[in-house]
Amino acid sequence: MTRAVLRLPLVTGLLALVLGAAACGGSKESGGPSVATPTVSLSFDRVPAGSPLELTYKFVVASDAKFSEDYRVFVHVVDTDEEQMWNDDHNPPTPTSQWKPGETIEYKRTIFVPVYPYVGDATIEIGLHSTKDQKRLTLTGEDTGQHSYKVAKLQLLPQTDNLFTVFKEGWHPAESAAHDPSLEWQWTKQQATLAFKNPKKDALFYFDVDSPGKEMHGAQQVTISLGGQTVETLTVDPEQRTLHRIKLPGSLMGDADLAELQIAVDKTFTPATITNGTSKDPRELGVRVFHAYVDPR
């Protein structure tokens, strides 16, 4: 099992993504020589809406490059009319002020493709821009205008191409963030069941989870079971959102049309009880789940 820690201030940009508006609108071109050559490789080039996608970002820094500040990476996904649908804008894990001439900067990010009303071919464009004055740096590559460079193509498929999944007993209704309706989650109770169409082969379970409210509870142990056997036990620390990738053996899925994952939390909490009425939430809460996705690809 592997996991990726997501820092909370970047939640909407990293996994939920920001839909619609360009995050670096009103950009200005800085001109000057190229500072790097960017490339992006994808784990899949055909992706259904709602599915996970791993992007490997690489910047080969020019031999004479100099960075006066920490620039932000903008990543726009555009349709065939060159209209932006969504983005993966982010700060690179190594700030650009620390990039050295001739160095190769490479890192991976996992996103979940937004459920967007479009099916068909799409292009990924990338660039570097200043958060101070929005000026964009010159890079080496196919410039679409305003220092935005084509780096990859993918085909967006309908959400129905995903493995059929049902949130059965043990789940509270879905909620969304007031500041970003595209950021959704569901709380579990102490025991929760996730049913899915049996692929009858090995699969990967993407479990994107946190448990906010460190003043109300400590770390929680979560046990994931399939076919009556434990496949993973993990720790959920308060305020730390983490994406876990858990291997699901096909041998434990049985022969039925649907297989079921059991999610068990060792400690639950009731906000209204713990806070002596400060919170009015009377629910028994386990952990907060942003994505629970079974991937047999």
* Per-residue pLDDT reduced to its tens digit, 27-80: 566 668 999 999 999 999 999 999 999 999 999 999 999 999 999 999 999 999
231-242: b or e for each residue (b if 16 or more CB lie within 10 Å)? Answer: bbebebeeebbb
Looking at residue 30, what is its pLDDT? Answer: 63
Q: 149-200 pLDDT, tens per residue?
A: 999 999 999 999 999 999 999 999 999 999 998 899 999 999 999 999 999 9
- For the chain, where do the domains classified as CATH 2.60.120 start and end? 163-295
pLDDT at 287 over 60: yes
Mean pLDDT of 228-237: 97
Q: Which pTM was predicted? A: 0.86
26 pLDDT higher than 60: no
Say whether domain 2-160 belongs to CATH 1.10.10.10: no
Model confidence at 278, pLDDT cuts 50, 70, 90, reads confident
Residues of the chain with CATH 2.60.40.3880: 2-160
Q: Please give the CATH number for the structural domain made up of 163-295.
A: 2.60.120
**Residue 11: how many CA atoms within 13 Å on its side-chain side?**
21
User: Do 85 and 115 form a contact (C-beta atoms < 8 A)?
Assistant: no
For the cut 80, the answer to whether the pLDDT of residue 104 exceeds it is yes
